[in-house]
Amino acid sequence: MTFETIKLPTASVGSQAHINVHRFGPSGGKKVYIQAGLHADEHPGLLVAQHLLRHLELLEKQGALKAEIVLVPFANPIGLRQRSFGHVVGRCDWHTGQNFNRNMAINTDQVMATLSDSFGDDLIENDQIMRAGLKTLVSQRTDVFEINSLHKALLLHSIDAHYVLDLHCDDVALPHIFYGVHQAETGAVLANAMGFSICLEEDVTGTVAFDGTHTQPWVNMEKHLGRPVFSKPCFAATLELRGRGDVSPELAEQDCLGILDFLTNENLIDRVPTPKKPVELKQLGVDQVKMVRASISGIVTYRSKLGDTLKAGEPFADIVVLDSPTAKSVPILAPCDGYLFSATGHYFTTKGDTIAMLATTEQQNKAGTQLAF
C-alpha cells in the first residue's frame, strides 16, 4: 500500500484542505477508483471506506490483488467543514452554491477537437489513448474556486480508471445503484454482488454527476465517430447505500464485501466471493422514476413502508396541516403504479418538496434529467 496526502490550493488564509489517497495492488494494468463522501452530509460510505482499507491491506499482503485499487476515503474535506450549529451541511459548496456532485464533466467539444483524430483500428491502443488524453485535459483545467481544485484533484486520480465507484446515500431509502444505460450488463453484475435490487440506468449524454463524467466521453466519442472505437471503456456507478441514518459496522461490512465481490467477479481480485442469495433486479431508466412532491406544507407521515408496491390513487402518506383552524391532515395519493424505494427524513415539508420516489414502468421524466438538484 502507498499513502499520499494531497493538499488543495488554499481558498483563504488558515483554511488548508486535503484529501488522502490510498493505493493498493500492482500499477500499470487495470485500475479501480473508489471514493466516499463527495456529498459530505452522506456518511455510510465513509464507514464502508474504512472497512475497505482493512480488507484491501490484507488482500494486498496475500498477493490477491490483480489490479491497482485507488481509494479516497473522504472525497470532500470542504463539505466536511461546512457545519451549521453542529450539523454537517455538505451537499453544496457554500462559496459558489454549486452541488459538489455536478458541473465537473469534461467539455464534449474539447474532447472531440483534441482526441477524435487520434484513434485507429486497434481498440486496446485506443483505450490507452483515450485515458491518457482525458487525464491531460483534466490537468489543463483552471481552478478558480476551491471546489474546482477539489474536482480537479479527484479527477486526476480517477479519470484514467477502468472502474469508478462513487459511494453515496439517499435521505431515507432502499439501496440502489446508478450507472449508464449502455453498461446494463456490468451494472447487473454490480447490483447482484451488492445485493441491491434497484438499478437506475442513466442516459450519460446529458447532465452528469461524478460517475457519468467518466463514461460520457467514451459514449460521445463512439457516437461522434459512428463506429466501435474502444475495447474496455470506463465503467462507473454511484452506489446509494440506503439512507443517511444507515450507518453501522454490520451494514458497512456487508457493503464492503459486496464491492470486493464485484471486483472479484470482474477478475480484479483473486478470492472466493461471499455466498449470497440471487437478487431479483428491478432495472429501469432514471426517466422512469416518479418524484412525488408535497402539495402543501406540513408534517409528512407514511402509511406505506419502503419496498411496498403502490397502485395509482392509493393513499400512501399524509401531510398533517399545521396552520389549519382545526386538526387536519391531507392524504397523499400515489400518482401512478410504482415501487416505493425512497422517502424523506425531513418530516416538515413545504410545497414542492420531494417526499417519495417510485420506480415505475413508464417514462416520467425527460431522458438525462437528474433526480435531485
CB count within 10 Å of CB 282 equals 18
Q: Please give the pLDDT value at position 194.
A: 98
- Residue 106 CA, chain-centre distance (Å), reads 17
pLDDT(30) > 90: yes
Q: Please give the pLDDT value at position 278.
A: 86
pLDDT digits (tens, 9 = 90+) for 176-224: 999 999 999 999 999 999 999 999 999 999 899 999 999 999 999 999 9
pLDDT digits (tens, 9 = 90+) for 124-167: 999 999 999 999 999 999 999 999 999 999 999 999 999 999 99
The H-or-E segment that residue 72 falls in is strand 68-72
The contacts of residue 59 (CB under 8 Å, 6+ apart) are: 24, 65, 260, 269, 271
Query: Where is average pLDDT lowest: 42-46, 104-108, 272-276, 358-362?
Result: 272-276
Dist. CA 290–CA 319, nearest whole Å:
19
Percent of the chain at pLDDT > 90 equals 94
pLDDT digits (tens, 9 = 90+) for 82-108: 999 999 999 999 999 999 999 999 999
Q: Please give the pLDDT value at position 83.
A: 94
- Mean pLDDT rounded to a whole number for the chain: 96
CB count within 10 Å of CB 294 equals 20
Q: Widest CA span of the chain, in angstroms?
A: 74
Q: How confident is the model at residue 27 (pLDDT cuts 50, 70, 90)?
A: very high
Q: Please give the pLDDT value at position 15.
A: 87
pLDDT(23) > 80: yes
pLDDT digits (tens, 9 = 90+) for 228-272: 999 999 999 999 999 999 999 999 999 999 999 999 999 999 999
CB count within 10 Å of CB 15 equals 11
* Helices and strands per DSSP (H, E), number in the chain: 8, 20
Q: Please give the pLDDT value at position 373.
A: 67
The answer to whether 133 and 115 have CB atoms below 8 angstroms apart is: yes
Dist. CA 340–CA 325, nearest whole Å:
33
pTM check: above 0.95: yes
- Give mean pLDDT, residues 302-313: 98
Q: Please give the pLDDT value at position 76.
A: 98
Higher pLDDT, 15 or 118: 118
